[in-house]
Structure formats: structure tokens, C-alpha cells
Amino acid sequence: MTNESVGFSGESVEALSTAINRYGRQQNMEPISVAITQEGSGSSSFFRGIAIFSPPFEEAEEEAVY
């Protein structure tokens, strides 16, 4: 499985955080990098973000050779 990037937008950083975490749970992936920027100012501002997701790390079980 490969990494995946997804864009988000919302009215607050908290709304973006919630959306990113929800997406990660639904896709069974972990966010490994997030960038957020504010657009506009005052009451007309909103936030855009992009998150890079990666599948969960699973260690391979090694067989003991004797």
C-alpha cells in the first residue's frame, strides 16, 4: 500500500483536525505530515490543509532458524 495525500478545508483548525483524524480512522491510515494555512481574515476566514497518510507500520514476523 502506498502513501496518500488528501486536501481538507474548514472553519477552524479544530474542524480540520477532526476531519483529518476521522479520515485516517475510516481508511485505516495514519497521518504522517499535515500543513494548514489560513485564508482571509476576520469572520470571513477559513482554513485549508493537506495531510499525507501512510498505512500503519506492521513488523514482519521472523522465523527463527536453528
Q: How far apart, in whole angstroms, are the C-alpha atoms of residue 43 and residue 4? A: 32
pTM for the model: 0.77
With a cut of 90, say whether residue 53 has pLDDT above it: yes
Hey, where are the domains in the chain?
Answer: 4-49
Q: How far apart, in whole angstroms, are the C-alpha atoms of residue 6 and residue 60? A: 28
With a cut of 80, say whether residue 58 has pLDDT above it: no
pLDDT digits (tens, 9 = 90+) for 15-36: 999 999 999 999 999 999 999 9
Q: Is 15 exposed, middle or buried (0-12, 13-18, 19+ CB in 10 A)?
A: middle
Instruction: Report the Cα–Cα distance between both ends of the chain, in Å, rounded.
Output: 33
